[in-house]
Amino acid sequence: MSGKLMGMPEAAPRKNTVRLGDRVFSNLSKGSGIALLVIMAAIAVFLTIRAAVAISNNEGNFLTTFQWNANDSPPVFGIAVLLFGTVVSSVIAMTLAVPVAIGIALFISHYAPRRLAGPIGYVVDLLAAVPSIIYGLWGALFLVPHMTGLFDWLDQFFGWTGIFAYNGTPARSLMTVGILLAIMILPIITSVTREVFKQTPKAHEEAALALGATRWEVIRMTVLPFGRSGIISASMLGLGRALGETMAVATVLSPSFLINASLLESGGGTFAQNIASQFKEAGSMGRDALIASGLVLFILTLLVNGAARLIIARRKEYSGAS
């Protein structure tokens, strides 16, 4: 029988009370998210306004012109060679860094003894915190001299691509930049991927071992599928740094940067390197042109991050459906 029928008073309904600290934290989180969106919108508006001024006065085609003479009268400039250099160097870096990073992360998390995994993980985290200018100086003083003559035979057959030589110097090329960027983003991808692999449920690994799977079969059937979205996120984080890297690229490439009408002659640079090397000497129109190239880099980064989010969301839906 209920308490009401027995003459007993009913219990008062419990009120959903929210603590003051939770309310303050919730409001701060919402405010931070809104502020971030406002800042991103303000950056986009600023870049668009300044880019529109430069593009309206440009005598060349902004998307296809291979020259960069923004300070001339009339100005002639385009982003074709910059887009080529940015994308190619980033693709080279990702191609070299991602497989090695996955291998190192697997070794630290599943193969190396604990006494060895700890120091290696610590060194990887330290390398991820090294400033880019240090990598650039190392690349210019150590990597470039050791790359001399290494890609001469590739430049003979594939010199028309502009990847293996820069202003006639094979050692200072997009290939060298890609190798340096791969070394730079390798610790970042490794660190994030390692932490993702460590989150693999132990029950899944033990179940695979109980069924007679080898260590590699356990990794292939449980660890890699579980960490797939994390690998994509880590790769996109490294790609974001590769796309926007400035000082390391500017240090490795020739300081006398000149974009010509021929891709074979210049070899191409990157958006960030071009902005850093020319912004100080640029005039009013030249700065607007550099800001226009920065807008393209801004859009390119947003597209890459959006594509990564879409891939991760689709894989989560597929995993939930299966």
Q: Which domains does the chain have, with CATH numbers?
A: 88-270 (1.10.3720.10)
Best-predicted range by mean pLDDT (105-109, 229-233, 259-263): 105-109
Of residues 258 and 145, which shows the higher confidence score?
145
- pLDDT > 80? residue 161: no
- pLDDT > 80? residue 176: yes
Over residues 164-173, the mean pLDDT reads 66
Over residues 139-163, the mean pLDDT reads 75
Q: State CA 127 to chain mean position distance.
A: 16
**pLDDT tens figures, 34-56:** 999 999 999 999 999 999 988 88
pLDDT at 103: 93
Radius of gyration, alpha carbons of the chain: 26
Of residues 48 and 13, which shows the higher confidence score?
48
pTM: 0.81
pLDDT at 44: 92
Q: Which residues, at least 6 apart from 184, have a Cβ–Cβ distance to it below 8 Å?
A: 93, 132, 135, 241, 242, 245, 248
**pLDDT tens figures, 14-30:** 556 668 788 888 889 99
Q: pLDDT band at residue 62, thresholds of 50, 70 and 90? A: confident
| Six-digit token string for 226 | 């579980």
Q: How far apart are CA 160 and CA 267, in angstroms?
A: 9
DSSP notation for 134-177: HHHHHIIIIIHHHHTTTSHHHHHHHGGGTSS-BTTBSSSSHHHH
Q: pLDDT band at residue 94, thresholds of 50, 70 and 90? A: very high
Region of 91 please: left (phi>0), alpha (psi -120 to 50) or beta.
alpha
Q: How far apart are CA 303 and CA 232, in angstroms?
A: 15
